[in-house]
Protein backbone atom coordinates (compact mmCIF):
# COMPACT_ATOMS: atom_id res chain seq x y z
CA UNK A 1 0.00 0.00 0.00
CA UNK A 2 1.32 3.46 -0.95
CA UNK A 3 1.73 6.01 1.85
CA UNK A 4 -0.75 8.90 1.58
CA UNK A 5 0.76 12.32 2.03
CA UNK A 6 -2.67 13.97 2.07
CA UNK A 7 -5.87 12.27 3.18
CA UNK A 8 -9.27 14.00 3.11
CA UNK A 9 -12.30 12.10 4.42
CA UNK A 10 -15.91 13.24 4.51
CA UNK A 11 -15.01 16.95 4.28
CA UNK A 12 -18.05 19.22 4.17
CA UNK A 13 -17.73 22.98 4.04
CA UNK A 14 -20.26 25.80 3.81
CA UNK A 15 -20.16 29.55 3.40
CA UNK A 16 -21.33 30.57 6.87
CA UNK A 17 -24.45 28.59 7.66
CA UNK A 18 -25.75 28.82 4.10
CA UNK A 19 -24.54 27.53 0.76
CA UNK A 20 -22.68 24.23 0.73
CA UNK A 21 -19.29 24.52 -1.00
CA UNK A 22 -18.85 20.75 -1.04
CA UNK A 23 -20.27 17.82 0.85
CA UNK A 24 -18.58 14.52 1.75
CA UNK A 25 -15.38 15.28 -0.21
CA UNK A 26 -12.91 12.38 -0.13
CA UNK A 27 -9.49 12.04 -1.73
CA UNK A 28 -6.00 10.73 -1.11
CA UNK A 29 -2.71 11.99 -2.51
CA UNK A 30 -0.09 9.23 -2.47
CA UNK A 31 3.59 9.94 -1.94
CA UNK A 32 5.22 11.09 -5.19
CA UNK A 33 2.04 12.47 -6.79
CA UNK A 34 1.21 16.04 -7.69
CA UNK A 35 -2.30 17.34 -7.08
CA UNK A 36 -3.93 20.20 -8.95
CA UNK A 37 -7.29 21.63 -7.93
CA UNK A 38 -9.30 22.84 -10.90
CA UNK A 39 -12.73 24.42 -10.98
CA UNK A 40 -14.79 27.55 -11.34
CA UNK A 41 -14.59 30.43 -8.88
CA UNK A 42 -16.40 29.68 -5.65
CA UNK A 43 -16.15 25.89 -5.86
CA UNK A 44 -13.86 25.55 -2.83
CA UNK A 45 -10.32 25.19 -4.24
CA UNK A 46 -8.78 27.90 -2.06
CA UNK A 47 -10.92 26.88 0.91
CA UNK A 48 -9.62 23.31 0.62
CA UNK A 49 -6.01 24.53 0.50
CA UNK A 50 -6.60 26.82 3.49
CA UNK A 51 -8.03 23.89 5.43
CA UNK A 52 -5.10 21.63 4.48
CA UNK A 53 -2.61 24.32 5.54
CA UNK A 54 -4.40 24.71 8.88
CA UNK A 55 -5.57 28.29 8.24
CA UNK A 56 -9.24 27.21 8.46
CA UNK A 57 -10.83 24.46 10.50
CA UNK A 58 -12.96 21.95 8.62
CA UNK A 59 -16.65 22.20 9.51
CA UNK A 60 -17.06 18.43 9.08
CA UNK A 61 -14.71 15.63 8.19
CA UNK A 62 -11.05 14.93 8.75
CA UNK A 63 -7.89 15.94 6.92
CA UNK A 64 -4.45 14.49 7.52
CA UNK A 65 -1.03 15.40 6.17
CA UNK A 66 1.78 12.88 6.64
CA UNK A 67 -0.65 10.96 8.86
CA UNK A 68 -1.27 13.84 11.29
CA UNK A 69 -4.61 15.55 11.74
CA UNK A 70 -4.32 19.07 10.39
CA UNK A 71 -5.90 20.48 13.56
CA UNK A 72 -3.11 18.90 15.64
CA UNK A 73 -0.17 19.14 13.24
CA UNK A 74 3.26 19.28 14.88
CA UNK A 75 5.72 22.08 14.06
CA UNK A 76 8.05 19.46 12.53
CA UNK A 77 5.34 18.29 10.12
CA UNK A 78 4.27 21.86 9.34
CA UNK A 79 7.90 22.66 8.45
CA UNK A 80 7.79 19.92 5.76
CA UNK A 81 4.95 21.64 3.91
CA UNK A 82 5.48 24.19 1.16
CA UNK A 83 2.75 26.10 -0.61
CA UNK A 84 2.99 28.16 -3.76
CA UNK A 85 -0.26 29.78 -4.73
CA UNK A 86 -1.18 32.68 -7.01
CA UNK A 87 -2.80 34.53 -4.16
CA UNK A 88 -2.75 34.00 -0.42
CA UNK A 89 -4.93 34.41 2.61
CA UNK A 90 -5.18 38.12 3.09
CA UNK A 91 -8.21 40.04 4.14
CA UNK A 92 -8.69 43.66 3.12
CA UNK A 93 -9.41 44.66 6.71
CA UNK A 94 -5.99 43.36 7.89
CA UNK A 95 -2.91 45.57 8.15
CA UNK A 96 0.58 44.40 7.17
CA UNK A 97 1.28 43.85 10.88
CA UNK A 98 -1.87 41.77 11.38
CA UNK A 99 -1.05 39.64 8.34
CA UNK A 100 2.47 39.03 9.69
CA UNK A 101 1.11 37.96 13.10
CA UNK A 102 -1.43 35.67 11.43
CA UNK A 103 1.13 33.81 9.29
CA UNK A 104 3.92 33.74 11.90
CA UNK A 105 1.87 31.35 14.05
CA UNK A 106 2.06 28.70 11.32
CA UNK A 107 5.83 28.70 10.72
CA UNK A 108 8.28 27.75 13.47
CA UNK A 109 11.19 29.34 11.57
CA UNK A 110 9.35 32.57 10.68
CA UNK A 111 11.76 35.45 10.14
CA UNK A 112 9.98 38.61 11.23
CA UNK A 113 12.88 40.85 10.15
CA UNK A 114 12.95 39.35 6.64
CA UNK A 115 9.18 39.84 6.37
CA UNK A 116 9.37 43.56 7.21
CA UNK A 117 12.44 44.09 5.02
CA UNK A 118 10.47 42.72 2.08
CA UNK A 119 7.31 44.64 2.96
CA UNK A 120 9.06 47.98 3.08
CA UNK A 121 11.72 47.50 0.38
CA UNK A 122 10.98 50.18 -2.25
CA UNK A 123 12.41 48.05 -5.09
CA UNK A 124 10.13 45.16 -4.26
CA UNK A 125 7.14 47.47 -3.85
CA UNK A 126 7.82 48.92 -7.28
CA UNK A 127 7.87 45.47 -8.89
CA UNK A 128 4.81 44.46 -6.84
CA UNK A 129 2.89 47.43 -8.19
CA UNK A 130 3.73 46.32 -11.72
CA UNK A 131 2.72 42.74 -10.98
CA UNK A 132 -0.58 43.67 -9.38
CA UNK A 133 -1.75 45.80 -12.33
CA UNK A 134 -4.05 43.57 -14.29
CA UNK A 135 -4.00 41.03 -11.46
CA UNK A 136 -7.28 39.23 -11.14
CA UNK A 137 -7.14 39.73 -7.40
CA UNK A 138 -6.91 43.53 -7.58
CA UNK A 139 -5.29 43.55 -4.13
CA UNK A 140 -3.40 46.61 -3.03
CA UNK A 141 0.32 46.62 -3.96
CA UNK A 142 1.56 46.97 -0.39
CA UNK A 143 -0.19 43.79 0.73
CA UNK A 144 0.73 41.96 -2.46
CA UNK A 145 4.35 42.06 -1.30
CA UNK A 146 3.48 39.44 1.27
CA UNK A 147 3.24 36.86 -1.51
CA UNK A 148 7.01 37.20 -2.02
CA UNK A 149 7.61 36.28 1.63
CA UNK A 150 5.54 33.12 1.38
CA UNK A 151 7.04 32.06 -1.96
CA UNK A 152 10.67 32.38 -0.86
Residue 143 pLDDT greater than 50, yes or no = no
Looking at residues 88-109, what average pLDDT do you find?
77
**14-29: pLDDT as tens digits:** 887 788 989 999 999 9
pLDDT value of residue 106:
75
pLDDT bracket for residue 102 (50, 70, 90)? confident
Residue 148 pLDDT greater than 50, yes or no = no
72 vs 87 pLDDT, higher one: 72
Secondary structure in 3-state letters for the chain = CCCEEEEEEEEEEECCCCCEEEEEEEEEEECCCCCCCCCCCCCCHHHHHHHHCCCCCCCEEEEEECCEEHHHCCHHHHCCCCCCCCCCCCCCCCCHHHHHHHHHCCCCCCCHHHHHHHHCCHHHHHHHHHHHCCCCCCCCHHHHCHHHHHHC
pTM score of the predicted model: 0.58
126 vs 75 pLDDT, higher one: 75
Residue 35 pLDDT greater than 60, yes or no = yes
Q: What does pLDDT average to over the chain?
A: 76
pLDDT value of residue 118:
74
Residue 63 pLDDT greater than 90, yes or no = yes
Q: What region, left, alpha or beta, does residue 72 occupy, with left being phi > 0 and alpha being psi -120 to 50 degrees?
A: alpha
Residue 52 pLDDT greater than 80, yes or no = yes
Amino acid sequence: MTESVISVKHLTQRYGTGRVIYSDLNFEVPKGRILGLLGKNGTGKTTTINILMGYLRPQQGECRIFGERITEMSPATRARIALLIEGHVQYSFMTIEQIEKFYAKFYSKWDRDAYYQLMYNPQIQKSGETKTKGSKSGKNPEKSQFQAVIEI
